[in-house]
Chain A
Amino acid sequence: GAGVSQSPSNKVTEKGKDVELRCDPISGHTALYWYRQSLGQGLEFLIYFQGNSAPDKSGLPSDRFSAERTGGSVSTLTIQRTQQEDSAVYLCASSLKHRGGEAFFGQGTRLTVV
């Protein structure tokens, strides 16, 4: 597609369940980022992929969070044993390498843990 696509757009899950969030970046964009947007913390970096590798995972808040990217394209962010504090909007962005940080964002997945 023309833009970054994220699914689902909304997800309500029970505390303790696992969730998977999907990101389909712009074709040809080798860099992919996940960010989290929450009321208390603003916009936070979670993880960076270059191709299928994740050289920077420094923003993942706990070991319940993991992500992978396959075929240099689609990425999945997995949250295990969800907690209420995981409720947030998860944003995916992609970019061409060496663009200084100019990134194209998806619409986000709003995760609500009840």
Chain B
Amino acid sequence: AQSVTQLDSQVPVFEEAPVELRCNYSSSVSVYLFWYVQYPNQGLQLLLKYLSGSTLVKGINGFEAEFNKSQTSFHLRKPSVHISDTAEYFCAVSSGSNFGNEKLTFGTGTRLTIIP
């Protein structure tokens, strides 16, 4: 079984300040890791993903995340946030089954609020 923990339910940040959204996971098998963003009244949009290779992955809108296997973490970072980054952010894992079922297990989400 897999699980994802996002400890921070809400994160307020001043505009142009850096931000880190924390994500920890547990799994008995190798995992693939994702961050999705949900803007108000919209579906989920993929920000970035870690499947293999370099542990530092870059995504859209200036976001990046680092996979740390020893700490089972996949924290999301951005050096300077903008008002338009206000949204809910979800960390997710899948086991990438060879049988094709790659369903996602989501964290509870972190609401990022940018303060002008």
Contact = CB atoms under 8 A, between A and B. Distances in A.
Interface residues of A, number: 28
B45 to A, nearest CB: 7
Contacts of A95: 102
Interface stretch (B16-24, B62-70, B88-96): B88-96
Given A56-B103, A100-B96, A100-B102, A42 B32 contact: no
A112 to B, nearest CB: 14
B54 interface: no
A87 to B, nearest CB: 16
Nearest to A42: B108
Interface in B1-46: 32, 34, 36, 42-46
A59 B104 CA distance: 12
A35 B106 CA distance: 10
A107 B100 contact: no
Contact of B101 (A35, A48, A102, A107): A48
Interface residues of B, number: 27
Contacts of A103: 46, 102, 104
Contacts of A99: 102
A45 interface: yes
A43 B103 contact: no
A31 interface: yes
B51 interface: yes
B46 A102 contact: yes
Contact of A100 (B44, B51, B106): B51
23 contacts: A30-B100, A31-B101, A31-B102, A42-B106, A43-B104, A45-B104, A45-B105, A50-B100, A50-B101, A55-B101, A56-B103, A59-B103, A95-B102, A100-B32, A100-B49, A101-B32, A101-B34, A101-B49, A101-B94, A103-B102, A105-B36, A105-B43, A105-B45
Interface of A: 4, 30-31, 33, 35, 42-43, 45, 48, 50, 55-56, 59, 91, 93, 95, 97-108
